[in-house]
Structures are given as structure tokens and as C-alpha cells.
A and B are shown apart, each in its own frame.
Chain A
Amino acid sequence: MFENILIYFVVIPLVMLGGLALCKNIKQIRAVAVVGSLALVGLSIALLLGYLEQRAAGATAEMLYVDSWSWFAPLNINLAVGVDGISVAMLLLSAIILLTGSFASWKIEPLPKEFFLWLILLSIGVFGFFISIDLFTMFMFYEVALIPMYLLIGVWGSGNKNYSAMKLTLMLMGGSAFLMLGLIGIYYHSAPEGGQLTWNIIEIAQNNAIEKDWQYFLFPMTFVGFGVLGAMFPFHTWSPDGHASAPTAVSMLHAGVLMKLGGYGCFRVAIYLMPEAANELAWIFLILTGISVVYGAFSACVQTDLKYINAYSSVSHCGLVLFAILMLNTTAMTGAIMQMLSHGLMTALFFALIGMIYGRTHTRDIRMMGGLMKIMPFLAVCYVIAGMASLGLPGLSGFVAEMTIFIGSFQHTDMFHRVFTIVACCSIVITAVYILRVVGKLLFGPVQDKHHLELTDATWWERLSTITLIVCVAAIGCFPNFFNDLIKFTFSPEIFTVLGIN
């Protein structure tokens, strides 16, 4: 079992939990968190290199590092792991955000030990989800990732935290109720009559045995189930409240990684396993996600709380991920994955910076602040960079992702897709509006509060956290081909060609 590198993505956090239990003071806790997440970053880089090496050597299987250990044998439930380019990229993203999140919660109070305990439990769910290719294990990790949010927001959050924590947890669990039914349904239709039923994604895709009638039922179940976490309209309302109330590191992880679970799941389970229904029902969800994209952006324009602005911008950007996935062609889907990476890093950077600014000014209301460029130049410049990435400045990650998505979307020539592509394109302009509005009010303009003049700039751990993220954002922006090559293998499954969708 332990010769497979993937299993360590779960083992390391477990060891971290054990280590945390032994910690006596805040320094040891920080040490465990930083060393552990560094190990995870190292592991995901090693995985990335190993993966590329195998691909270069001519491995053509859809998934690499595939392994399976029997768990509930009579129901054919296995602990099956395997990765393709997308999962490798997602694992790297999660590890980086966990690391920067640990730095961002350097001075978390009260109960630092419990805070990191829940944070690491959440990360177990995230990592486990990305390495699993067995629907049951995947779903289990998915739920493991959801529940720590309740306590993380409820205990360490701010503002209307009780309400937000409960709303977030219940809405996400509501999504997973649909999801559970969908997954069990998939299991019972996973093999042709008389065949061995299976939970394994690869086998289900190869069997391609889900009848069309059942696909019409199961596809909406799974897509909505994951879509709730992907902040699909009208199930997005947990996101602004949840993100605004959560402590910094949790907002980072949640917006940066957890919401990607939704997009990833929609792609990997709903569309990949039920392409026929996806092809025919995509229009319904295209409308919904199209609304997400524009509505999220407009909502961000009128908010005055920094976190709410960024949360609504997340709704818009994550909507774009689902929007692109539903275009069902290689270009748009590549763009969707790029957008997941880009948004993950960018939004984590945003939330980290907002947390740092809030920690100093004790307000997140943009009307109460101004002229921060003079007071804390480092944070202010980073904020501008994050903003530029968000509105799609070439050279940063946002441009690459959105460009690919819209090119992919334009490949559909019919009226319906054209209209929605143009509508979604408008979100770029709206994004520019709210980003520049914040930058103008917050960073330039007159100083609103005399006390702010005495504030200090970022400390070393804060700089480390933001610089890491900025480097990653720029890396995607400058070397998009690398990531394109990494994920392109995923989009050659026979299933698309068989159905003539592409």
C-alpha cells in the first residue's frame, strides 16, 4: 500500500494531526503546520515531475499511479487512487494554498491547536478527494472536507458567523444529499446487465453502460450536487456569507481549493460518466452558470465589504469554470482547468491580503479606508497585482484562463451558445469595474482615518505567503503551455470521440 506515492497525500496530514496532538505551545504548532505543508508541497512537486516523466516516456493510460485496495469487498468498494494531469495540478494547488494558509494564520487566536486540527482535517478531505478514483471514497473525502468548515467559521470567524457557518454547512450538505443519490444510482447502472457493478470511475467510463433514461435522472443529481459547491446560481448564496465570516486561512482554502472540488467533480463524475445526458441537458446548466457569471460580477460592484466583494467575484469566476466545462469541448475545458488553478491562487492571494489589511485596520469596509498605498506599500502593490490577475491582465493567470475559455466557447456556432458566450464575456468588463473601484478607493485616494497612518507594512511570514502566491500566479500567466501540456492528456478519452461530441 505504501509504495504508491499518492497515499502519502493522506498519510502526511494524518501524521500532522498526530503531531499536533503532542504540541504544547504555539511555536510547535506552527512548526508542525509549516513542516507538514512544506512536505506536501514537496510531495506534489515530486508527483508532478514523476507524472511528466512517465508521460514523456510514453505512458498513454488515462490515469497514472493507479492502485486499488479492497475495502468493502461485497459491494466492490475499493480505496482506488490514480491521477491525471488535472488532479496533479489540483494537488499542487491545494498544497501551496495550505502552506500559504498556514502562514496567514500565524497568529490565530484563540485555541490555535484546534484551529490547525480542523484545518488539516479539511485538507485530508481535499487531498483524498483529488487522488480518489472510486466514487465511494471520493464522496467520503468530499464530506470530510465539508464539515470542519462549520467549526472553523463558527469558532474563529467574524461578523455574523453563526448564521454563515450554519448556512454554508447546510447548503453544502444539501448538495451532497443529491450527490449521494446520484452516486448510488450510478453504481447500480455501472455495468451492463449481469456484469460486475463497480464504483471505479475508469471502469464505469469504459463500460459506458448507464442507459440514457437513467443518465437524464442521474446527471442533474450529480451536477447539482457538485454544482452547489461550485457556487452555481441559485445555490451560491452560502458562498458570500461563508467567505465573509470565515477566518483568513479558511477563506483561502475554501475559495481557493474547496470550491474547485465542485468544478472538478462536475467534470470528473457528472460529465465524464454521463456524456450523453451532459450533451443534451447542458443548456439548462449553461443558463444557470451564465447567470452566476454575470450576477456574481454585478453583485461584487455594489458591495462595500472587501470580503463580500471578493466572495461575489469568486461566484462569478467559479461560475465561469462550470460554464466552460459545459461547453463540452477540449479548448473550453482546458480553459476551465486553467481557470480553476488561476482562481484558486488569485482568490487565495486576495483573501490573504484582505486578512492582513483587516488585521491592521480592523475594518473591511472600503469607505472607511483610503490611501493604503502610502501606508503599507507592499500589501497595496500585491493587492494591485491580484486585482490585475483577476481582471485578466496578460502575463498573469487570469488572462490565460479566460482567453482559453472564451475561444473554446466561440467554437460553438449556434445562436444559443453565441449569446451566452457574449454575455459571459461581459463579465470581464464588470470585473474591471469592481476591481478598479476597490483599488481606487482603498489604495489611492485620501487617507480616511488618521490612525491608519501609524500602521505597519507586512511581516516576513506575510510576505512569504503573498510572494509565493504571486509567483505562482505569474508562472501560470507566463508559461501557460506547460500547464496546457500537463492537462491535455485528460481530454483524449475515447468517451468524447465515441459520442461525437467533440
Chain B
Amino acid sequence: MDYSQFLAMKQEIGLLVVFLLVFLYDTFMPKKAQSNLPGVTCLFFALFTAACFCPCLLTNAESFSGMYESSAVIVTIKNILNVGVLIVLIQSMKWANSEMQIMRRGEFYELLLVTLFGMYLMISARHFLLFVIGLEAASLPLAAMVAFDKKHYESHEAAVKYIMTAVFSSAIFMMGLSFVYGLTGTLYFDGIANAIVGEDQLNVLLIVALAFVISGVGFKLSLVPFHLWTADVYQGAPTSVTSYLSVISKGATAFAFLVIMVQVFGTLYSQVWEWMLYGLIILTITIGNLFALRQSNMKRFLAFSSISQAGYIMLGVIALNTTGMASLLYYILVYIFSNLAAFGVVSAIENKTGKLSMEDYNGLYKTNPRLSFAMMLAMFSLAGIPPFAGFFSKFFIFTGAIQQGSIAIYVLVLIALINTIPSLYYYLRVVKAMFINDSETPIESFRSATSERLGLWISVGGIILLGIVSCVYNYLLDLTAPSDMFAGLL
């Protein structure tokens, strides 16, 4: 075997090293040094994240006879995820140091890194076997993480729900794959694509297979109608896990979905999956918004908001051009910062007071002005209000979609745009609670932990700077422009 093949997998190897270091530290260091575990993990991961930005990684490479691929775009999406994970790790330090978790936090970090590894494989896979390995590695440990609050009944319920849907969706996904294999005789992405082009007539089995694949991934992305697990799992899971689930897992799956749809089934776009995805996007955005309107628990509220955000992310897939892909990456990046800012505030308040209901946020500005400001920026960014990053990411994802030029896409974007009105309403509800409503029993003034503040500062900094400072999006556009993924698909 040619071991130099592993050199293409520099990021995976780096992550593995971090994982091993954390594991060894957790297992073999004396009790005293163990209290530093969260800090040490953050440090290792921060170093790894920084190292991954080395421009020398931005090369095209493939190994294992094309099962694994790495390119500048792939390295970048992994870097984006790394940044998000780093913020999650920083924000969860307070929680990991709490009485309940101190015994088990090593496992939390290890599971988290394993799922990230799985997501890396999903992104880089160019063969469905490797993809499924990644998918499972990214799903199953998450169920253990969801169940992390041992003493909370909801946490267990959420974990059971999660594992059931995860396994169920994997089964559907693999059912679809088996059809594909039966039709084409290969599981390589490009092999399948070539086999499909060769066919004169559209095989009905292929449509079924495609529907299965889309619904399998749709479960992970919580697209409507595959979203039923989302709210319960988000609510039941510990807040740190919820924030990880809502941004990192979603971001990685969204990109992997783009790659599958374009590289494997790209030629079927106008025949088959354009209309499937149209329906999914409209349903996802609309239903997500309508359900978010009536939520009173902050975590459930953010769950439904994240469902509708996933619909917007899908616009980057349906765009079928490089602008759309760059916008999708940018949207994920901005979404990570905005959502983590929101979750940062929620978890800071939860850690201090245990309060999670939107009513508890009444009058927050009078007692905790800074937290309220951070929350307000997060809400504005999620709602797409300039000059915050969310405005730019929404605008660009629409621009990317419309570049396609058909009337249908204009209608789709118009529906998505009209949906921003109810979304603005529920985001403003939070702002209203904090700034306008009065409360008899407001959350008392408190100083959040240093780690929480650090996490919030990073997220808020991202929200403010990512949009106005144009170089990030310009970089992504330049990065994706040479890609010939979309050539000849429309």
C-alpha cells in the first residue's frame, strides 16, 4: 500500500492528532491537571484551526483511487467548520466545568471531535461508501452527546428521538444508494454521473433512488417534511450540544448535499430534482417560519428558526452556479457566527439562572445591557438586517440563485423573500422582550464567565465584520470561480 496517499488527508490527520492528544490527556494526566481539560482542548483545537489556514493546503489532491478528494474549496469549508467548532468549544467551557459534567467532559470532547471527523469525510468523499462512513460517524456519536444531561428526562427523550431518526434516515439513504448501485454498478460519484448521462431514457428507479437520497440527507438538514425531530432534540439536548448540532452539523451536511446533487445527479437537474428541491425549499422556509412564530422556549424557537435558515441555504444548491456555491459557503459561515451568538447568550443565561423561556427575557436590557446587545445583533443578523453579516449572506444567496435566470427561480426567491417578513416578526419578538417589555422579576444583573464572554465577543465581531469587510466573500468567490463542477448542467 502506498502510504503517501494519506498525505492528501492533512486536515483529517491533524484532527486525529488533536483527538488523540485530548484522549491521552483525559486518560493519563493526574487528577489535578485534568481540571484544565477544557482549556487544553480549546488550545489544541485553536492551534489546529490556525494551522489549517496555511495556504500550502490549498491544493487539489485525491487518494484511494479517487474515493477521497481535497481541493481549495473543500479545505475552506472545513476551515469554516473549524472556526465554528472552536467557538462552540469556547462557549461550552463553563458548562463543561459544571458539577454535573466534570466527570464526563472528556467524553464530550472526544465525541465531538469524532463527529467532526465524520463530517470531514462526508465533505471529502467521492465514493458513497466513504460518504456513508462519514455520515454515520457524524450521526451516532451525536446521539450520545444529546443524551449528555444524565439527570434530565428531556435529554434522554431527545437522544432516543435523534438516534431513531438518524438510523431511519440512514436506512432510507442507503436504500436509495442500493438502487443507484443496481442501476449503475458503481458507487463512485463520477462513475454514477457518467452512467446516468449514458442512459437515453430516464429510469423510474433512478427517480425513486434520488428521492430516497434527498430525504436521507434531508433528515440531517432538517428540511421540512423531515424536520419533526428537530425541535424536540434541540430543546432536550444540552445547549452546547444544540448549538453544535444546529450550525456545524447543518453546515457540513449542506455542503455535502451540494456536492452530491451537483457532482452525481447534476445532469438530472431539470428533469428530476429541480422541482423536488423547489418544493422542499418552499415548505422548509414557510413551515419553519410559521412554527417559529408561536414558540416560547428559546431553544425550540431557535430550532424552528434554524429549519427555515436551512431552506435559505438550499437556495445556494438550486442556484447551480459558482456564485451560488460561494454564497452557500458564505451563508454557512455567517450563520455559524449569528447562531452561535444567539446560543451563546441563551446558554450564558441558562448556566446562570436556568431560565429558557422567552418571557424570562423581558426587561433584560435594563439588567444585562451587553448580553441584550449581543442577542439583538444575533437576531438582526439572522433576520438579515444591514449592516450586519446576515444581510449580506441573504442578499448574496439570492443573487446567486437568480443568476440562473429562469422565471421559476424568480418566483422561488420572491417566496423566500416574502418569508423574511414573518421571520423578522419572530426575531423582533426577542428584541421586543429584551428592550421594550417590562418585567416584575427580570433576570438579575450578572457577569458571565470569561469563556462565555470570549465566545460572544468572537461571534459578535464576526457578525459586524464579516459583511462590511468584503474580502471574505470576495475570497470565496475567487475560490469557487475556477470550479468546473457546474459546466454544462443547465
Quick one: CB contact mask for B371-399 with A, threshold 8 Å, 1 for yes? 00000000010000111000100011011
The answer to whether B387 touches A144 (Cβ under 8 A) is yes
Interface SS, A side: helix
Given contacts A140-B391, A188-B402, A188-B405, 15 further A-B contacts (CB under 8 A): A72-B477, A73-B470, A73-B474, A74-B478, A74-B481, A143-B386, A143-B391, A154-B432, A155-B435, A180-B417, A181-B402, A181-B413, A181-B414, A188-B403, A217-B410
Give the docked Cα–Cα distance between A151 and B420 (Å). Answer: 19
The answer to whether B431 touches A180 (Cβ under 8 A) is no
Interface SS, B side: helix
Give the docked Cα–Cα distance between A292 and B436 (Å). Answer: 33
Q: Most A CB atoms within 10 A — which of B380, B405, B424?
A: B424
Q: Which 10 A-B pairs have the closest CB atoms?
A: A177-B417, A74-B477, A154-B436, A140-B386, A143-B386, A72-B470, A174-B421, A147-B385, A184-B402, A71-B470
Q: Is there a chain B Cβ closer than 8 Å to A169's Cβ?
A: yes
Give the docked Cα–Cα distance between A314 and B56 (Å). Answer: 62
The answer to whether A187 touches B386 (Cβ under 8 A) is no
Which of these, B396, B398, B405, B418, contacts A174 with CB under 8 Å?
A: B418
Give the docked Cα–Cα distance between A77 and B477 (Å). Answer: 13
Within 8 A of B (CB), among A140-164: 140-141, 143-144, 147, 150-151, 154-155, 162
Q: Is there a chain A Cβ closer than 8 Å to B291's Cβ?
A: no
The answer to whether B418 touches A143 (Cβ under 8 A) is no
Write out the residue numbers on chain A whose beta carbons fall within 8 Å of the beta carbon of B470: 71-73, 77
Write out the residue numbers on chain A whose beta carbons fall within 8 Å of the beta carbon of B425: 166, 170
Give the docked Cα–Cα distance between A310 and B477 (Å). Answer: 49
Within 8 A of A (CB), among B153-184: none
Chain B min CB distance to A200 (Å): 16
Give the docked Cα–Cα distance between A71 and B469 (Å). Answer: 8
Chain B min CB distance to A478 (Å): 40
The answer to whether A147 touches B421 (Cβ under 8 A) is no
User: With A74-B477, A188-B403 given, is the CB distance from A177 to B421 under 8 Å?
Assistant: yes
Chain A min CB distance to B99 (Å): 38
Q: How many chain A residues touch B (Cβ–Cβ < 8 Å)?
A: 31
Quick one: CB contact mask for B345-388 with A, threshold 8 Å, 1 for yes? 00000000000000000000000000000000000100001110
The answer to whether A173 touches B473 (Cβ under 8 A) is no
Chain A min CB distance to B403 (Å): 7
Q: Is there a chain A Cβ closer than 8 Å to B428's Cβ?
A: yes
Give the docked Cα–Cα distance between A87 and B474 (Å). Answer: 31
| 15 contacts across the A-B interface (CB closer than 8 A) | A71-B470, A72-B474, A73-B474, A75-B396, A136-B395, A151-B435, A154-B432, A155-B435, A155-B436, A177-B420, A181-B417, A184-B395, A184-B399, A188-B402, A188-B403
Give the docked Cα–Cα distance between A73 and B413 (Å). Answer: 24
Give the docked Cα–Cα distance between A73 and B387 (Å). Answer: 18
Q: Is there a chain B Cβ closer than 8 Å to A178's Cβ?
A: yes
Give the docked Cα–Cα distance between A147 and B413 (Å). Answer: 22
Which of these, B421, B428, B474, B477, contacts A150 with CB under 8 Å?
A: B428
Q: How many chain B residues touch A (Cβ–Cβ < 8 Å)?
A: 33
The answer to whether A147 touches B387 (Cβ under 8 A) is no
Give the docked Cα–Cα distance between A217 and B406 (Å). Answer: 13
Q: Is there a chain B Cβ closer than 8 Å to A185's Cβ?
A: yes
Write out the residue numbers on chain A whose beta carbons fall within 8 Å of the beta carbon of B387: 140, 144
Nearest to A174 among chain B residues (CB) is: B421
Which of these, B323, B395, B424, contacts A173 with CB under 8 Å?
A: B424
Write out the residue numbers on chain A whose beta carbons fall within 8 Å of the beta carbon of B435: 151, 154-155
The answer to whether B420 touches A173 (Cβ under 8 A) is yes
Give the docked Cα–Cα distance between A188 and B421 (Å). Answer: 25
Q: Could you list which residues of chain B lie within 8 angstroms of chain A, going by C-beta atoms? A: 323, 380, 385-387, 391, 395-396, 398-399, 402-403, 405, 410, 413-414, 417-418, 420-421, 424-425, 428, 431-432, 435-436, 470, 473-474, 477-478, 481
Give the docked Cα–Cα distance between A432 and B175 (Å). Answer: 76
User: With A180-B395, A187-B399 given, is the CB distance from A150 to B386 under 8 Å?
Assistant: no
Write out the residue numbers on chain B whose beta carbons fall within 8 Å of the beta carbon of A143: 385-386, 391
Give the docked Cα–Cα distance between A143 and B388 (Å). Answer: 11
Nearest to A221 among chain B residues (CB) is: B414
Write out the residue numbers on chain B whose beta carbons fall within 8 Å of the beta carbon of A140: 386-387, 391
Give the docked Cα–Cα distance between A178 and B402 (Å). Answer: 14
Give the docked Cα–Cα distance between A144 and B399 (Å). Answer: 20
Give the docked Cα–Cα distance between A162 and B420 (Å). Answer: 20
Chain B min CB distance to A463 (Å): 33
Chain B min CB distance to A141 (Å): 8
Give the docked Cα–Cα distance between A185 and B477 (Å). Answer: 20
Give the docked Cα–Cα distance between A169 and B421 (Å). Answer: 9
Write out the residue numbers on chain B whose beta carbons fall within 8 Å of the beta carbon of A188: 402-403, 405
Write out the residue numbers on chain A whose beta carbons fall within 8 Å of the beta carbon of B410: 181, 185, 217
Chain B min CB distance to A186 (Å): 11
Give the docked Cα–Cα distance between A141 and B410 (Å). Answer: 24
Chain A min CB distance to B374 (Å): 15
Give the docked Cα–Cα distance between A120 and B358 (Å). Answer: 29
Give the docked Cα–Cα distance between A469 and B473 (Å). Answer: 45
Give the docked Cα–Cα distance between A217 and B405 (Å). Answer: 13
The answer to whether B428 touches A169 (Cβ under 8 A) is yes
User: With A150-B431, A154-B432, A154-B436 given, is the CB distance from A173 to B399 under 8 Å?
Assistant: no
Chain A min CB distance to B95 (Å): 32
Give the docked Cα–Cα distance between A151 and B365 (Å). Answer: 12
Chain A min CB distance to B468 (Å): 9
Nearest to A150 among chain B residues (CB) is: B428
The answer to whether A185 touches B431 (Cβ under 8 A) is no
Chain A min CB distance to B422 (Å): 8
Within 8 A of B (CB), among A166-202: 166, 169-170, 173-174, 177-178, 180-181, 184-185, 187-188
Give the docked Cα–Cα distance between A141 and B386 (Å). Answer: 8
Give the docked Cα–Cα distance between A74 and B476 (Å). Answer: 10
The answer to whether A162 touches B391 (Cβ under 8 A) is no
Give the docked Cα–Cα distance between A298 and B402 (Å). Answer: 43
Nearest to B395 among chain A residues (CB) is: A180
Which of these, A71, A75, A155, contacts B477 with CB under 8 Å?
A: A75
Give the docked Cα–Cα distance between A73 and B431 (Å). Answer: 34
Nearest to B384 among chain A residues (CB) is: A143
Give the docked Cα–Cα distance between A159 and B403 (Å). Answer: 46
Nearest to B387 among chain A residues (CB) is: A144
Which of these, A72, A169, A178, A184, contacts B398 with CB under 8 Å?
A: A184
User: With A74-B474, A147-B380, A154-B435 given, is the CB distance from A173 to B421 under 8 Å?
Assistant: yes
